[in-house]
Amino acid sequence: MGQFEDMCLFIRIVEAGSITKAAEQLDIAKSAASRRLKELETRLNAQLISRTTRNSTLTDAGRQYYEQARNILSDVDILNEEISGVKAHIEGTLKMTAPLSFGLMHLSDLIDRYAKQHPNLAFELDFSDRHVDLVEEGYELGIRIGELKDSSYQARRLTEIRYVLCASPDYIAKAGMPTSLETLQTHDFLQYGLAKQSSLLLIDSDQQQHRLNTTSSIKANNGDFLVKMAAKGHGIAFIPTFIAYEALLDGTLIPLMTDYELPTINAYAVYPKNRYVSQRCRFFIDFIIEQIGDNPYWDQRLQQAAIL
């Protein structure tokens, strides 16, 4: 291995938090990672990481080497891009995580197109709704929907996420069409998440906010399941349009309380702060933003059908 590879290894050790975690993420033996770190320190004639039996910390020399090494890798990416073009250098493995429903419904085609454009790029994907620690588990990129609470991440906004209240025609025929906040509150709801109590915020034409406590007949942590339960007549779903749009377009579900606005949230691409961001990661984020846009295609289809 050369100095460039050892530099990459050192950056990974720092960002992973330990030699053990870095070795696991790179799929190499811990002993090999330790040996290469020691060889790097010997070559530099400086200790980069102070190691004890309990923990390890960057030395002043290690901190300086880390910061400058990140800059060097970034400069190399830019140089390669300028000389040979972007496409030839989108390579390696992009390890990313995304919410299950969003990933399956809206990232599959994007990844298909991007992978065909960049045949030297591999993907390692975790589609799930669990909270993933990007640094701990060695992910370069995560897609998050909703409020961002972890300040250790950098974020780029991808698009706006809109919601809809909807139910099946059979449910409305049985329970009646809600025409006011009072009648809406008497209906059964399908709740995303397993909290004991759920509430719903609606905004009227005067921009006044109204919060209603709801009663849920079914609770689940997956939006696709709740759409199916709504289609089978089990209650009203408060669900993102990116999940419900197909059922709304084919009439399986119908929108409710359309005179009121519902709160919106955002989808973000997140990646660890102060970490070297690879070219493959940066350009894939750009690609997602370019393809989805601020008025995503699922909402455009609903607008064209006069459903939103």
Give me the mean pLDDT over the 1-21 stretch: 80
Whether the per-residue pLDDT at 54 is higher than 70: the answer is no
- Is the pLDDT at 211 greater than 60, yes or no? yes
Cα–Cα distance measured from residue 224 to residue 181, given in angstroms and rounded to the nearest whole number: 26
Tokens of 288: 């997602």
Handedness of CA 277, 278, 280, 282 (dihedral sign): positive
Query: Are 19 and 33 contacting, i.e. CB atoms less than 8 angstroms apart?
Result: yes
pLDDT at 236: 96
What's the token pair of residue 107? 């990232």
Question: Which single residue is written with the structure tokens 């706006």?
Answer: 160
Residue 16 has pLDDT above 80, yes or no: no
Is 70 exceeded by the pLDDT of residue 52? no
Question: How high is the pLDDT of residue 186?
Answer: 92
Residue whose tokens read 């099946």:
168
pLDDT of residue 97: 95
For residue 89, name the pLDDT band (cuts at 50, 70, 90).
low
Percent of the chain with pLDDT over 90: 50
Tokens linked to 226: 């709740």
Q: Cβ(256)–Cβ(179) under 8 Å?
A: no
User: Rounded CA gap, 112 and 42, in Å?
Assistant: 45
User: Rounded to an integer, what distance in angstroms lies between the CA atom of residue 223 and that of residue 102?
Assistant: 10
Task: Give the number of other CB atoms < 10 A from CB of residue 56.
Answer: 16
Whether 159 and 266 have beta carbons less than 8 Å apart is answered as yes
pLDDT value of residue 82: 61
Residue with tokens 């779903």: 237
pLDDT at 66: 84
Strand intervals (E) in the chain: 49-51, 56-58, 92-98, 121-127, 141-145, 153-161, 163-167, 188-192, 198-203, 209-220, 236-240, 254-255, 265-272
Q: What's the mean per-residue pLDDT of the chain?
A: 88
Mean pLDDT within 38-47: 88
pTM, two decimals, is: 0.74
The per-residue pLDDT for 181 is: 94
- Sorted by where each starts, the structural domains of the chain and their CATH numbers stand as 3-75 (1.10.10.10), 87-159+266-299 (3.40.190.10), 163-263 (3.40.190.290)
Tokens 């846009």 correspond to: 293
Query: Exposure of 219 by Cβ count < 10 A (0-12 exposed, 13-18 middle, 19+ buried)?
Result: middle
Look at 12 and 1; give whichever has higher pLDDT: 12
Given a cut of 90, whether residue 83 has pLDDT beyond it is no
**Are the C-beta atoms of residues 275 and 15 closer than 8 Å to each other?**
yes
Give the model's confidence band at 27: pLDDT under 50 very low, under 70 low, under 90 confident, else very high: confident
